[in-house]
Amino acid sequence: MAAYRELGREELLELKEELEAQFAEVKAKGLKLDMSRGKPSKAQLDLSMGMMDVLTSDSDLICEEGVDCRNYGVLDGIKEAKQLLADMIEVPKDNIVIFGNSSLNVMYDTIARSFTHGVMGSTPWCKLDKVKFLCPVPGYDRHFAITEYFGIEMINVPMTESGPDMDLIEKLVSSDPAIKGIWCVPKYSNPQGITYSDETVHRFACLEPAAEDFRIYWDNAYGIHHLYEDKQDYLIEILMECKKEGHPDMVYKFASTSKISFPGSGIAAIAASDANLIDIRKQMKIQTIGHDKVNQLRHARFFGDIHGMVQHMKKHADIIRPKFEIVLGKLKEELGELEIGSWMEPRGGYFISFDALDGCAKKIVEKAKEAGVIMTEAGATFPYGKDPHDSNIRIAPTFPTEEELAMATDIFILSVKLVSIEKLLSEME
């Protein structure tokens, strides 16, 4: 079919009538489908059920340190868990601290600690007139929620195919001491699935920030979340790169097993320089007597080592890869020639990023909801929920069954077509 912009008014009206009839038919079915969050499906959760049997009432619960994991002790994580997650995020195990079940929690604590006590002896942010953060967009809504909660001014930085606009980042960071950090999802980014190029990572490591307490918040949430065995993105390890460039303290690296084992029952970690970790442990000594060591031990024994984890992730990929292919296949087939939307084809991660015509994203999401499909709120991928173009929509294919996903995608596409036609008709008035 011809691109919609090539159609005349009467042709668009005729097409609109046809699509509205289809929409009414779908709406009458009373469907309830959810593509709103990047949650693992039941089939993915079932992959880790063996973890429930690894430890029993008869199990030896002594970790490598010789500590009974049922008791107090080992503040920053047992050796087995440190080694497992260190290998997962490609850092030395001495440069990692294990926390509880959520890396988001660790990020929140890191921001909060910076506000109350500063960063490695710097002025606490609460005593400053202004604190700013750079936010690559589109990006992860929960990152933006944390900074908004603390009243931090967020500055949009456009994403490119190789990562965030480094020219802009270098300029802003070097000139404004109020800029204290930047959010990054460097591999299979949320929502676009972009992996930062070698040059981008290198330029991050070479930043010369005006603020001595500037930190890169490197949320490597999808580091081993590949969709394909033979097509995998590669990411330079940021801690080592920063150390090479003489900036060892400039990065906090976060990760968790939330989408590897069980969301809500995984283990999380932060990796950083020795100096940063000393600062972090000071807070931990006050904050907790230790995180859940039984769960740490359970993860270590279930996966064994990084090789066991990699094999486990291949099973995840086998479940979610067909779902991504369903969505991408339908988008290409139904919208490929219409010029009313664009999207990326990620090699990993949990999302597909769709860009509609300007001014259409909110209406598309509302339209889909009207027919029973819940999607991530339009604007969520931008700070303050404000997409300046009102065009970006995050598609989360993982949670529904393949059958549900196919129906939800059809409804989404139908919504895109209808809203796009309405926009084009309004431009003709």
Tokens of 26: 């779908």
pLDDT value of residue 252: 98
Burial letters 81-98, b for 16+ CB under 10 A, else e? bbbbbbbbbbbebebbbb
Look up tokens 């099973």; give the residue.
Answer: 315
Handedness of CA 157, 158, 163, 166 (dihedral sign): negative
Q: Note down pLDDT in tens along the chain; length 429 residues.
A: 789 999 999 999 999 999 999 999 999 999 999 999 899 999 999 999 999 999 999 999 999 999 999 999 999 999 999 999 999 999 999 999 999 999 999 999 999 999 999 999 999 999 999 999 999 999 999 999 999 999 999 999 999 999 999 999 999 999 999 999 999 999 999 999 999 999 999 999 999 999 999 999 999 999 999 999 999 999 999 999 999 999 999 999 999 999 999 999 999 999 999 999 999 999 999 999 999 999 999 999 999 999 999 999 999 999 999 999 999 999 999 999 999 999 999 999 999 999 999 999 999 999 999 999 999 999 999 999 999 999 999 999 999 999 999 999 999 999 999 999 999 999 987
* DSSP at 207: -
Look up tokens 């460097």; give the residue.
Answer: 186
Domains and CATH numbers, the chain: 4-44+310-428 (3.90.1150.10), 61-304 (3.40.640.10)
pLDDT for 364-414, tens place per residue? 999 999 999 999 999 999 999 999 999 999 999 999 999 999 999 999 999
CB 394 within 8 A of CB 191: yes
Quickly count: other Cβ atoms within 10 Å of residue 158's Cβ. 10
Of 251, 252, 294, the residue nearest 100 (C-alpha):
294
**DSSP result, 146-200:** HHHHTT-EEEEEEEETTEE-HHHHHHHHHH-TTEEEEEE--SS-TTT-----HHH
Whether the bond between 263 and the residue before it is cis, its omega within 30 degrees of 0, is no
pLDDT value of residue 166: 98
